[in-house]
Structure 1
Amino acid sequence: MIRKKENKMQIKILSLLFTIGLFSQSLFAKPLQSIDRLDIKSYLGLWHEYLRLPNEFEDKENKFCFDVTAEYKIISEKSLSVTNTCHFLDKNKQIQTDIANGRAVIENSDTNASLKVEFIPIPVLRDIVRWISEPNYIVIGLGEKNQAGLYSWAVVGSPDRKYAWVLSRKVKLSPEDDTATRKILESQGFQVSKLIRPIQKTN
């Protein structure tokens, strides 16, 4: 039985945003190098989480996320809606679902690759967090566009190097693309030895 729990992860994610936004730039003298230019239209749609660094809202003793997806849709010229979906097994081994709905705001219009992502439902609080925080979602690598004109994979990280994800349009990446994404993360100071590959239904 699958049960959806809307926005259950919001408190954890809010704490994450404060941590990343307020302290990330001081932790590393060398900032993340984003890609030169992100074509937003080619970034939209559904992504599968191919790799991630362990984090407190996807990897807990009683909840290990699998079949994780992220979906992006246009809200305005500078903002996107974000829907993150995580499946996990409860104590009775039943599949449960967490869905977090948020917003991504483009902070660097020269590249479109530095964004602030938040999952706060209260507009006033959301605006305060955005005002006091730094971009926490940096696109640092992209695959070739597929036949539909969409990027085939993406590498995303936080400035403090604590959070990283490899997203893919397909459940699996080729060995060559797997290697390429890991090299991108390693070259920017991420601990690639700690990367997790979450279970997907079709793995």
Structure 2
Amino acid sequence: MRNKNSQMLVRGFLFLGLAFSTQLYAQDRSLATVPHVELDKYLGLWYEIARKPLYFQKECQKDVTARYTINEYGNLAVDNRCIDEQGNELRSLGEGFISNEPYNSKIKVSFLPEAVRWMPFGRGDYWILKVDPQYQMALVGEPKRKYLWVLSRTPHPDEQKVKEYLRYAQTLGFSTKDMIRSEQTEP
């Protein structure tokens, strides 16, 4: 009887240890966003300066932009554009749903057909991790650290500022070794 109680006690401690270490790992993997985003300042045209390789952007060769506006439902309208190898403009329209109002730093974005965007599946995380006070540069990612973008209001921002944002991304646990620098041909 004593042996059985000892085994149960050991199993209980193992389970608690596993639960505790899992919780610690989950906390380490959490991702901090900016405390608050003023949407009226964030809206408008952004130039993609750098990104982690993405399957849905593989055709984009240059002039990658994102324009954010408010749609008739009060959500973000997303208009992504780029130029492919043949010089054709590619366009992807989506909708962003703020998931942490009134802070506005965590957005779920869907590029599904408009008729089914209201469904919660098929939405990707778009978290604003860093933005300068004048809303001229932003760092956007997601909690699994698979996607990352450096965005700027100008097509050719100061390189030191870009490096600062990439270093910050590294402190958050993002690998920046595979970042693709976006070519912007606009002067």
CA distance in 1, matches of 2:56, 2:124: 19
* Conserved? CA contact 2:95–2:117, under 8 Å: no
Unaligned 5+ runs, structure 1: 1-25, 146-150
Pairing 1:116–2:108 present = yes
Pairing 1:179–2:157 present = no
Q: Secondary structure at the match of 1:159?
A: coil
Mark the CA change 1:77 to 1:101 in structure 2 (over 3 Å): closer, same or farther.
closer
Partner of 1:72: 68
State the structure with more CA Rg: 2
Mark the CA change 1:140 to 1:78 in structure 2 (over 3 Å): closer, same or farther.
farther
Pairing 1:88–2:84 present = yes
CA distance in 2, matches of 1:102, 1:40: 17
**What letter matches 2:127 in structure 1?**
I
Partner of 1:136: 125
- Runs (4+) of structure 1 exceeding 6 A deviation are none
Per-residue CA deviations over 1:65-96 (Å, capped at 9, x if unaligned) read 31000000012685110000011113xxxx11
Unaligned 5+ runs, structure 2: 1-24
Identical-residue share of aligned pairs (%): 29
Mark the CA change 1:40 to 1:201 in structure 2 (over 3 Å): closer, same or farther.
same
Partner of 1:160: 144
Per-residue CA deviations over 1:36-81 (Å, capped at 9, x if unaligned) read 000000001101001100111112xxx3431000000012685110
Q: CA deviation at 1:140?
A: 0.1
Mark the CA change 1:84 to 1:167 in structure 2 (over 3 Å): closer, same or farther.
same
Partner of 2:94: 102
CA distance in 2, matches of 1:114, 1:173: 25
CA distance in 2, matches of 1:116, 1:35: 16
Q: Secondary structure at the match of 1:199?
A: coil
Larger RCO, structure (CA 8 Å, separation 6 or more): 1
Partner of 2:183: 199
Mark the CA change 1:132 to 1:118 in structure 2 (over 3 Å): closer, same or farther.
closer
Q: Secondary structure at the match of 1:57?
A: helix
CA distance in 1, matches of 2:74, 2:173: 29
Per-residue CA deviations over 1:150-177 (Å, capped at 9, x if unaligned) read x101100021111110110001221331
TM-score by length of 2: 0.79
Q: Secondary structure at the match of 1:180?
A: helix
Q: Secondary structure at the match of 1:136?
A: strand
Q: CA deviation at 1:34?
A: 0.4
**What letter matches 2:117 in structure 1?**
R
